[in-house]
Structure 1
């Protein structure tokens, strides 16, 4: 089908018999309807008419109206301009370039209607330069216009009418296509009557069928789409009233949020749109996008500002803004590219909140407000003269390229600015500022109250103290790297009140990871396999592109992008670390999980047994590679079963403990576990579902025991220091392997065994008859330093071997 929405929009109010439309709702996935109206017949002359139902339906939806004295006059012919007005509104045809016809005056009510229909390509004028707007429309003309609008494929089986020979050559293929599609029918006597004028009743009926053929229309407030699973909608979808929630739906074509939404709200929940998404309506309260995937959004609300709020795992490849808009992705959603098009009127206001990968400004003299969040790359095109970029203190721009005269105001930070035009000014000095190749090396830039001259090496000042010939942050970094290369450092994990706060630790690929550090410092975002306790390792990761790095200020919220992360290796590649080092090399770190929501849910999740301390109960979890929720009809305590010793799997009930489904985890917290008893856990099939309706497979673990506790005997006390060569004495609550290794060593069982074989550690195995009895492990000839006594499947103790 032709992408008729490429020329979509604003219904044109005309002074004729057709009223402004509120489009029909396809009830095939309607879950809960609010405020629906009874489709009563308001016209006295429609009683017992064959088109009664369609006329009543479209009239109650505000699409058509009657004439004087409560009459509809169903058998009166419709004119060419009236037909164009009807289709323009029903199919949201966007105003386009004007067309000139000898019989259409610019003051005629139908002038914009005619030109829009011609621009859309489904109608055209005659060879003599006329459009004949008041001429009645024939049935074959109606077939041609519908075929042009919907681009219906040719049919292999063409129906033959008794009067088929009376069809004009230019209408034969179109008539065959729309008849095969069931949009226009012949008469009971076997004729089509192609030259017969189309009546008002026939026009409404054809409209109804054309709408149903092209997709789904939602014109009544309510929730549409299944509660669980995923409904697939072929064709396009139109939402043309406020208070509509679209959920769990995959749309093959385009999605249009119509003008009739007005200043109301629309909600998309777990909706995937393969085509374009057009926003022509919605108010300052918003179009809400939750856990949805959209390729491209085009914002074009002619009257007023529309606010789009994207949250959760929502992913948007591109947003094109043609009218004033506010875009808020501060709740973790991801937008790859935003384009402020040259169609934006001068002095338009656009607000961008949250994380954006790339923002391109093409419009002349607009205001771009960044109240909070981060933009990786902001490019001002050479035709965007007069742009004002207003940055709040809580916002940051990593790379800003100014190809036109622009003002950057506010207290937000700009890491790197490239100036490619005259008459550029900054209220707050960027950390780095250089001239581009489109301007001379002595281009002048205003920073605060001072005028600065840029050179090839950076900013030099012609007055005042604002300028500097180098970037102090970069030179400081160089010194620190030199120091790290020559002097080994042993960072301390945290110190005093040093803390980083991460409100959302589980995100989808493309979402930003927001965080706040209580101290100034340097933040790293790295895969968990990189040693976060070594700044040298982290810096090498930065150089290789495997680790992200930014400088942070105390108590300022910043973010890392996950846009470029490819989760190609389950399970390891979805586990990350966010680490901040302060100026004294103290650090704090948080685990971050980044999930690829495009992957299928795994059959075999990771089973994790959490090491418990002496006074805490053990916990277990099944870690999936997708965000999950409890399936409809399931309760958390009936999705898990367990087996004790060699017994059968039984439901894990509330008396046994708690089960919680959180993010990508199923967390099991038993109320009690016996020592030295084998437990198995099983997740029942279809217990949980992903956002697109995928359910889990049945999965169970092998044997697991309660966490092995270790009780230190010698050394004792809080210091846990032992002299080199002396023995360490302890007891275990169960059989296990015990390793004495350097504190910074982590790995598999075989990795540990290899280190022991190479004399980098020690190992003993506590047998059944040694449980709860003193056992020893010798420090032997291990060098002094920090070590851990690591109990496999149990706790570990940090200690130090001293001389």
Structure 2
């Protein structure tokens, strides 16, 4: 076994910045702080300007900002790209498909702004293939974009301007519509001046009127809507901050839970929405829907997972999920249909808790977790290959139709399964399993560890559940356990007898359950690596604080821990966990678990970990990433790692030097031989590995690693021993190092150890260069009796006991 040490981590235009997405409020909602007369305007050149109020309002809403020296430059013309940026952020425009223009480069600050505006349909390019992002925006262009965005109906009465004949045909209807709606006005001299450039002040004023026309905006925490009765909103409603409660309200248009909600909470109580409900923000603690009626919810939070909890008499006709989400309708609410759309990125995680009538999976290679509840019908579409359906013991699926290769894991029950594709596997055998009309009568399905042939005669009657799964899929499976050996270094453990936890899958995605079986009755803990697993007190404190999960386990019964509450946003170590089981005699066994968030960007600097060899094993090293990785195309394991011995140059780490393996999120290095008293440097070349979405690694160096420092006992002898209180312990080391004598329950950094020694809780000795391979002695004087350890810095650890 090994222990590990040595962790190594490692254009917006200045003249026009349009900040976070926010909406304006109409006159019907409660006055907020930002709209009160006490808010000061922040720009020196806006004093007594006609647009001061609107500019001040939108500045405090963080939608627009000025330029250097506290100026706004209200009379400077706005460009087409700047106008697009303003509307995108104000109207919550989501990222769209890439658009190509001759004058827009991918590195331009406005590249994504232009793409999103064009994808949303309110702006477009020119016939020559250009977008003209730096060209100033004309008033008639502004009218067209606003009209396209708001879809304002044509007016029966058209206002005539003195210069109406100068309107282009393509803008005439739009100008009439926005003028009739009061969003854009003409000048006092009776002209509209359609080709005149739009100023920054005019742009903010038009924006203010446009969003007022669209609906009601809530941007401060608080409760909105009457305490009794019903408030009817004729337009749409936008909630764009956390901590908002909307109650007793009927919305004729759409409801938007905006991006600025971030990871916060929103509460809807007795709210009825006739249009669409868009969820662009909200955290893993939830968007709460209580006694509300919603026709269609579209979940599209670009960064992170949002959790929706429907309670009481809430009724939802359909939920369309475009990004990772958790739906909880276990408190009596009803959802007729859930669609996991093909816009969900591969490896996305969706959790469904409670009762659902129909669930349709259209996305490729996603993970569907069903921790509790019932789904009447679950359909996996033919383009949803690679789907993993993770069912907990407390869940059930009445009818499951698999039109694509998929894995059904876990202990949940499936009443009836219809297989319409090759490469389908089940961990637990369905009650009824038949082939559909899209496959041959002899299609094979894997149940447990055995492949069974389905036939027209009806459901299979053999096969077993539990204990892992296998698949005939041709796709790469990073989790297969049929390798000759598992090279992943394990956590040191302290057990008695035959105590080995069975964990079929030790690397999982966020949202995927961790299943395991213990051979003994006991208590299981799921904790981050920073928690001391050798201390039940530390684990229990973690349980109390919510940082550690705890369940009771029975011998040989498969149970699981959920990973939906895990946030993998802080690097470097929060994707590394321990699954630890203590038996009734306080013996424990632990397994390393890795929980990866496949929605993250691959980190620039991985962890570099040195696994110190125990006894006669060899040292190992690894570059640990926060994503699943595979060997990049055109690369081989012989040319992705280089090493330098001592002060020598970097050379390829070839087969004669040892083995390199790319496994899960690791590049694992196993040297065949390392010399004592020599430092080794390792380098991972750029582009060595690639993630599922095509991201590659950067070059990374790790320096100053030595072979495990070995300890050889002289007196007493052996690997675990007793010594009388006050006597010395004599040993030799294979290299220079520091040796600590401390209580066996103590864990921490070198500075933690030094602090304890300064307080007379232990001893230490420095083995210098001329003392290597020679006997040295560490004293036990003044130490109380009990269990101790000799812990060598970058080396072995021996257990001992000081006795009276």
**Bin of the TM-score, shorter chain as denominator length:** 0.5 to 0.7
Partner Cα distance (1:126, 1:465) in 2: 61
The CA distance in 2 between the partners of 1:366 and 1:352, in whole Å, is 13
* Residues 22 and 224 of structure 1: CA distance in aligned 2, closer, same or farther (over 3 Å): farther
Tell me whether 1:193 sits opposite 2:193 in the alignment: yes
Aligned to 1:129: 129
| Cα displacement (A) at 1:89 | 1.0
Change over 3 Å in CA distance of 1:82–1:34 after alignment to 2: closer
Q: Distance in 2 between matches of 1:109 and 1:153?
A: 34
Structure 2 partner of 1:660:
none
**2:191 aligns to what SS in structure 1?**
coil
1:146 aligns with 2:155: no
Q: Which residue of 1 aligns with 2:272?
A: 272
- Map of 2:432 onto structure 1: 432
Structure 2 equivalent of residue 540 of structure 1 = none
- 8 Å contact 1:24–1:220 — kept in the other structure? no
- The answer to whether the 8 Å contact 1:267/1:288 transfers is yes
Secondary structure at the counterpart of residue 458 of structure 1: coil
1:31/1:329 CA distance change after superposition, 3 Å: farther
Deviation at 1:169, TM superposition (A): 2.8
Alpha-carbon spacing, 1:61–1:230, altered in 2? closer, same or farther (3 Å): same
**8 Å Cα contact 1:13/1:20 also seen in 2:** no
Contact 2:58 2:64 in 1 (8 A): yes
- 1:560-583 CA-to-partner distances (Å, cap 9, x unmatched) read xxxxxxxxxxxxxxxxxxxxxxxx
- 2-structure distance, mates of 1:15, 1:112: 18
Q: Secondary structure at the match of 1:114?
A: helix
The CA deviation at 1:454 is 1.9
Give me the whole-angstrom Cα distance separating, in 2, the residues matched to 1:21 and 1:465: 51
Instruction: Report the alpha carbon displacement of residue 411 of structure 1 after superposing the two structures with TM.
Output: 1.4
Alignment of 1:371-770 (within 5 A): 371-460=371-460
Q: Are the aligned partners of 1:310 and 1:328 in contact in 2 as well (CA < 8 Å)?
A: yes
Contact 1:289 1:309 in 2 (8 A): yes
Deviation at 1:295, TM superposition (A): 1.0
CA contact (8 A) 2:447 2:464 kept: no
What is the Cα deviation at residue 443 of structure 1? 2.1
Report the Cα distance in structure 1 between the residues aligned to 2:88 and 2:464, rounded to whole angstroms: 61
Q: Is residue 2:22 matched to residue 1:23? A: yes
TM-score, normalised to structure 1, is 0.54
Q: 1-side partners of 2:316 and 2:140: how far apart? A: 42
Corresponding residue SS for 2:454: strand
* Structure 2, unaligned runs of 5 or more: 1-10, 467-804
1:249 to 2:249 alignment: yes
Partner of 1:532: none
The question of whether the paired residues in 2 share the 8 Å contact of 1:80 and 1:136 is answered with yes
Cα deviation per residue 1:38-81 (whole Å; 9 max; x = unaligned)?
53200111111110100000000000000000010111111111
User: CA–CA distance in 2 between the matches of 1:111 and 1:171?
Assistant: 25
Q: State how far apart, in whole Å, the 2-side matches of 1:424 and 1:361 are.
A: 15
Counterparts of 2:465 and 2:144, CA distance in 1: 73
Separation in 1, partners of 2:146, 2:209 = 10
CA distance in 2, matches of 1:33, 1:143: 29
The CA deviation string for residues 721-749 of structure 1, in whole angstroms up to 9 with x for no partner, is xxxxxxxxxxxxxxxxxxxxxxxxxxxxx
- Measured after TM superposition, the shift of residue 204 of structure 1 is 0.3
Matches within 5 A, 1:114-263: 114-263=114-263
SS in 2 for 1:336: strand
Structure 2 distance, partners of 1:122, 1:464, is 57
Q: CA deviation at 1:157?
A: 2.0
1:358 equivalent in structure 2: 358
What residue in structure 1 maps to residue 702 of structure 2?
none
Task: Report which of the two structures shows the higher radius of gyration computed on alpha carbons.
Answer: 1
How far does the alpha carbon of each residue in 1:57-116 deviate from its partner, in whole angstroms, 9 at most, with x for none?
Answer: 000000000000001011111111111111111111222222222222222111221222
When the two chains are superposed, the root-mean-square deviation of aligned CA atoms in Å is 2.2
**Structure 1 residues 443 and 102, CA, compared in 2 at 3 Å: closer, same or farther?**
closer
Change in 2 beyond 3 A, CA 1:297/1:15: farther
The answer for the alignment partner of 1:318 in structure 2 is 318
Measured against aligned partners, the alpha-carbon deviations of 1:595-642 in whole angstroms (never above 9, x if no partner) come to xxxxxxxxxxxxxxxxxxxxxxxxxxxxxxxxxxxxxxxxxxxxxxxx
CA deviation after TM superposition for structure 1 residue 400, in Å = 0.9
Contact 2:434/2:460 (<8 A) preserved = no
Match of 1:102 in 2: 102
**Counterpart-to-counterpart distance in 1, 2:30 and 2:204:** 27
**Is contact 1:31–1:223 with CA below 8 Å preserved after alignment?**
no
Cα distance in structure 2, aligned partners of 1:121 and 1:47: 37
- Structure 1 moving runs of 4+ over 4 Å: 12-16, 27-38, 461-466
Deviation at 1:234, TM superposition (A): 2.0
Counterpart position of 1:300: 300
Whether contact under 8 Å (2:360, 2:378) holds in the other structure is: yes
Residue pair 1:422, 1:443 contacting (<8 A) in 2 also: yes
| CA–CA separation in structure 2 for the residues paired with 1:220 and 1:188 | 37
Contact 1:23 1:218 in 2 (8 A): no
- Determine if contact 2:95/2:116 at 8 Å carries over to the other structure: yes
**CA–CA distance in 2 between the matches of 1:412 and 1:450?**
19
Distance verdict in 2 for CA 1:404–1:261, change over 3 Å: same
Paired residues of 2:388 and 2:406 also in contact (CA < 8 A): yes
* Residue 177 of structure 1: how far off its partner (Å): 1.6
Q: Could you tell me how far apart the structure 2 residues matched to 1:34 and 1:333 are?
A: 36
Structure 2 CA distance for partners of 1:190 and 1:411, relative to 1, 3 Å: same
1:74 aligns to what?
A: 74
* Aligned CA distance change for structure 1 residues 250 and 169 (closer, same or farther; 3 Å): same
1:36 deviation in Å? 8.5
Deviation at 1:465, TM superposition (A): 11
Query: Partners in 2 of 1:36 and 1:105 — Cα distance?
Result: 39
Q: Tell me the distance in 2 between the aligned counterparts of 1:164 and 1:329.
A: 56
Q: For structure 1, which runs of at least 5 residues remain unmatched after alignment?
A: 1-11, 467-803
Cα distance in 1 for residues equivalent to 2:432 and 2:21: 53
Match of 1:379, SS state, is strand
Q: 1:389, CA displacement in angstroms?
A: 1.1
Aligned residue for 1:170, secondary structure, equals helix
Mapped to 2, the partners of 1:369 and 1:133 lie a distance apart of 44
Q: Deviations over 1:626-677 (max 9, x none)?
A: xxxxxxxxxxxxxxxxxxxxxxxxxxxxxxxxxxxxxxxxxxxxxxxxxxxx
SS for the counterpart of 2:148 is: helix
Q: Tell which has more relative contact order, 1 or 2 (C-alpha 8 A, sep 6+).
A: 2
Q: Is the 8 A contact 1:309 1:327 kept in 2?
A: yes
Please identify, of 371-380 and 106-115, the stretch whose mean Cα deviation from structure 2 is larger.
106-115
Q: 1: distance between equivalents of 2:14 and 2:104?
A: 15
> In the superposition, relative to structure 1, how do residues 165 and 382 fare at CA in structure 2: closer, same or farther (>3 Å)?
closer
With over 3 angstroms needed to count, the CA separation of the structure-2 counterparts of 1:67 and 1:464, relative to structure 1, is closer
For the 8 Å contact 1:363–1:384, the answer to whether it is kept is yes
Instruction: State how 1:40-51 maps to structure 2 within 5 Å.
Output: 40-51=40-51
Asked if 1:54 corresponds to 2:81, the answer is no
Shift in CA distance, 189/33, structure 1 to aligned 2, threshold 3 Å = closer
Q: Judging changes above 3 Å, is the alpha-carbon distance between structure 1 residues 279 and 197 closer, same or farther for their aligned structure 2 residues?
A: same
Paired with 1:89 and 1:462, the residues of 2 have a C-alpha distance of: 58
1:224 touches 1:246 (CA, 8 Å); kept in 2? yes
The Cα of 1:452 is off from its aligned counterpart by 2.4
Residues 54 and 182 (structure 1), Cα distance of their counterparts in 2 relative to 1, 3 Å cut: same
Aligned-partner Cα distance in 2 for 1:15–1:71: 12
Q: What's the CA shift for 1:34?
A: 8.5
Residues 32, 170 of structure 1: alpha-carbon distance in 2 compared, 3 angstrom cutoff: closer
Residues 263 and 55 from structure 1, CA distance in 2 versus in 1: closer, same or farther, beyond 3 angstroms? same
Q: Distance in 2 between matches of 1:465 and 1:121?
A: 51
Shift of 1:322: 1.1
- Return the TM-score normalized by structure 2: 0.54
* 2:243 and 2:266 in contact (8 A); partners too: yes
Distance in structure 2 (CA, Å) of the matches to 1:411 and 1:236: 44
- Distance apart, 1:315 and its partner CA: 0.7
Residue pair 2:447, 2:463 contacting (<8 A) in 1 also: no
Residues 500-546 of structure 1 show CA distances to partners (whole Å, capped at 9, x for unaligned) of xxxxxxxxxxxxxxxxxxxxxxxxxxxxxxxxxxxxxxxxxxxxxxx
